[in-house]
């Protein structure tokens, strides 16, 4: 079926049209949602949220935005009863702009999940001053109030996901076992989110549903499979091409990189891996000229795949607890060796990039198709290049192999992570029914 997309007029943030009731309807264009998501990503980077936590911050506002817009579109179905423990959002008590209510629910929830609340408040105030021009104030306020009501409903649901409880759990215990993960230089940070497996999944049945095969057993005998995997990382790293270096840097997505010069240490903040894929959602939506409902669909489905991807991956990371290449190579092969990328502070297996990138790619492919080419400029603001991809799967495969080029993963973590992510992504896509195909307003 051919998809008919509403052309987004970039010069206009909103339009006002008359309803049968005489109340002015506020129709918000997709670019407003993209800009608001960008603002949330900007704050996530500023507040230095870890990749798993960032995925949670993206998911709840995106789901709320989708739920509000779907309530006013017969072509879409609620995720209530489809996502774990999510119940249906309330109906509005009076006539409202669903577009504005969806925006408000997104902003309200996003603000509740970050640290820099004042930054989001200032953004909202400036945006609403513009959106409110020429709109009946009672209607505007009623729409915002409905957004607040939906936000309260979603935040109550979020309160049951074990996030707050895991904030009080003990830190990860590091042992002297030579096969197990050890903190790595230069920061020697403690393990990030060792209890993320306790977080309630969104769509998958459990954190262990997509447990991959076991990693290769640690064995530094020169004839062992593990030793060969270690040497593959080492030899790749010392023979990198310029293209491979660019690929590794492009997909680094480390939210907190420590730069050391002599005795001086300075941090560089970057977007998280999930944030990179949220940026790709925006790129795809703009290319396809999606309307607000379609835009909300893309963000909701992708954010759920990302969030569940992190839960699944982190479950395996702290189950297998495998040592990183940097630690092994420095101890047994070359004490001066450094990976191109800074090693992230958590166990090696499986590769987070491989899992979440492929889960997100499957979700996006289900919406935009197999051969959706795009130019990814997500990392341009961080001084990196722009890269072109023939499809979402193409991008996800490059994201996965970038971890070998970066010197931070053995190949089994990458290959099995790709499999893990695609299985999870396909499960999410098959389970969640967002479109009512018989009534969809966007297909013919």
Q: Is the dihedral of CA 119, 121, 124, 129 positive or negative?
A: negative
Report strand pairing: 257-261 vs 264-268: antiparallel
Q: What is the largest CA-CA distance in the chain?
A: 80
Pair 188, 265: CB distance under 8 Å: no
- Low-confidence stretches of the chain (pLDDT beneath 70): 1-25, 259-267, 438-444
pLDDT at 438: 62
Six-digit token string for 124? 């909202």
**Nearest CA-CA partner of 41 in 25, 62, 63, 26:** 62
Q: How far apart are CA 61 and CA 49, in angstroms?
A: 16
pLDDT at 174: 97
Q: Give the pTM.
A: 0.93
Which residue segments constitute the domains of the chain, with CATH numbers given? 14-164 (1.10.606.20), 175-431 (1.10.606.20)
Pair 330, 190: CB distance under 8 Å: no
Cα 208-210-212 angle, rounded to 5 deg? 100
Averaged pLDDT score across all residues of the chain: 92
pLDDT at 269: 86
Q: How far apart are CA 44 and CA 205, in angstroms?
A: 28
pLDDT at 242: 97
pLDDT at 256: 82
Pair 37, 303: CB distance under 8 Å: no
Residues whose CB falls within 8 Å of the CB of residue 277, separated by 6 or more in sequence, listed in order: 302, 306, 356, 357, 360
Pair 49, 60: CB distance under 8 Å: no
Model confidence pLDDT, tens digit, residues 9-30:
333 344 444 343 434 568 899 9
Model confidence pLDDT, tens digit, residues 324-379:
999 999 999 999 999 999 999 999 999 999 999 999 999 999 999 999 999 999 99
């Amino acid at each position: 079926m051919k998809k008919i997309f509403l052309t987004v007029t970039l010069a206009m943030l909103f339009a006002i049209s008359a309803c049968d009731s005489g109340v002015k309807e506020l129709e918000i264009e997709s670019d407003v949602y993209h800009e608001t998501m960008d603002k949330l990503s900007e704050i996530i980077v500023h507040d230095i949220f870890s990749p798993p936590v960032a995925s949670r911050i993206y998911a709840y506002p995106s789901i709320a935005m989708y739920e509000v817009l779907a309530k006013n579109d017969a072509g879409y179905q609620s995720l209530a009863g489809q996502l774990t423990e999510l119940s249906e959002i309330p109906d509005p008590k009076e006539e409202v702009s669903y577009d504005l209510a969806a925006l408000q629910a997104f902003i309200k929830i996003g603000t509740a999940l970050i640290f820099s609340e004042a930054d989001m408040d200032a953004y909202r105030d400036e945006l609403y001053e513009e959106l409110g021009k020429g709109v009946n104030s009672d209607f505007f306020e009623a729409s915002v109030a409905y957004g607040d009501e939906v936000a309260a409903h979603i935040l109550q649901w979020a309160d049951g996901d074990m996030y707050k409880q895991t904030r009080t759990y003990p830190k990860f215990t590091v042992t002297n076992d030579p096969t197990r993960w050890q903190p790595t230089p230069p920061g020697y940070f403690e393990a990030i989110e060792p209890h993320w497996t306790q977080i309630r999944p969104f769509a998958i049945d459990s954190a262990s549903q997509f447990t991959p095969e076991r990693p290769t057993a640690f064995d530094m005998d020169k004839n062992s499979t593990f030793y060969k995997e270690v040497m593959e990382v080492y030899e790749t790293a010392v023979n990198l091409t310029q293209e491979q270096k660019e690929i590794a840097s492009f997909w680094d997505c480390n939210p907190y990189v420590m730069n050391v010069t002599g005795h001086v240490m300075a941090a560089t903040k970057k977007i998280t891996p999930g944030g990179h894929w949220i940026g790709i959602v925006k790129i795809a939506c703009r290319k396809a000229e999606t309307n607000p409902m379609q835009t909300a669909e893309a963000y909701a489905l992708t954010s759920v795949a990302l969030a569940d991807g992190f839960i699944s991956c982190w479950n395996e990371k702290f189950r297998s607890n495998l040592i990183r290449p940097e630690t092994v190579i420095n101890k047994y092969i070359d004490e001066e060796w450094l990976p191109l990328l800074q090693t992230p502070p958590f166990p090696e297996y499986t590769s987070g990039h491989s899992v979440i990138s492929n889960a997100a790619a499957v979700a996006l492919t289900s919406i935009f198709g197999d051969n959706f080419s795009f130019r990814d400029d997500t990392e341009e603001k961080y001084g990196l290049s722009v890269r072109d991809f023939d499809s979402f799967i193409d991008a996800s495969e490059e994201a996965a192999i970038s971890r070998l080029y970066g010197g931070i993963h053995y190949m089994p973590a990458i290959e099995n992570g790709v499999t893990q992510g695609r299985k999870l992504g396909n499960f999410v896509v098959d389970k969640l029914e967002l479109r009512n195909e018989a009534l969809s307003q966007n297909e013919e």
